[in-house]
């Protein structure tokens, strides 16, 4: 599926812009373009700490402005911490 990914950033950006142009215009995005967009944006993905490794310490504000870190987020059996793109777009 991920065979036709351009390697340079500008070509990737063009796929993303085309995707965003259609979306902003309220036009349907063809599934092929959508797939290209997903591939271009996820190419060479890195997934961070491996199983068995420790995650870096962090302290970030939550949606209510409270400072949150692993200690006050985790349940007794752990935490499912998910990184995602944006809640805005």
Residues that bind other proteins (CB under 8 A): 1-2, 9-10, 12-13, 16, 23-26, 28-29, 31, 34-35, 38-58, 60-65, 68, 70, 73-89
- The minimum distance between CB 73 and other proteins, in angstroms, equals 5
Q: How far apart are CA 30 and CA 51, in angstroms?
A: 37
As given in the structure block, the two tokens for residue 60 are 């970030």
As given in the structure block, the two tokens for residue 5 are 């990914």
Burial class (CB in 10 A: 0-12, 13-18, 19+), 37: buried
- The minimum distance between CB 36 and other proteins, in angstroms, equals 11
CB nearer other proteins, residue 4 or residue 56:
56
- The minimum distance between CB 86 and other proteins, in angstroms, equals 5
User: For the CA atoms of 49, 54, 57, 63, what is the dihedral angle to 10 degrees?
Assistant: 70
- The minimum distance between CB 4 and other proteins, in angstroms, equals 14
């Amino acid at each position: 599926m991920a065979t036709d990914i351009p390697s340079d950033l500008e070509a990737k950006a063009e796929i993303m812009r085309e995707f965003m142009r259609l979306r902003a215009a309220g036009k349907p995005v063809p599934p092929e373009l959508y797939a290209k967009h997903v591939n271009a944006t996820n190419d060479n993905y890195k997934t961070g700490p491996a199983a068995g490794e420790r995650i870096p310490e962090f302290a970030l504000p939550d949606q209510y402005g409270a400072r949150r870190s692993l200690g006050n987020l985790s349940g007794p059996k752990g935490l499912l911490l998910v990184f995602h793109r944006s809640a805005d777009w």
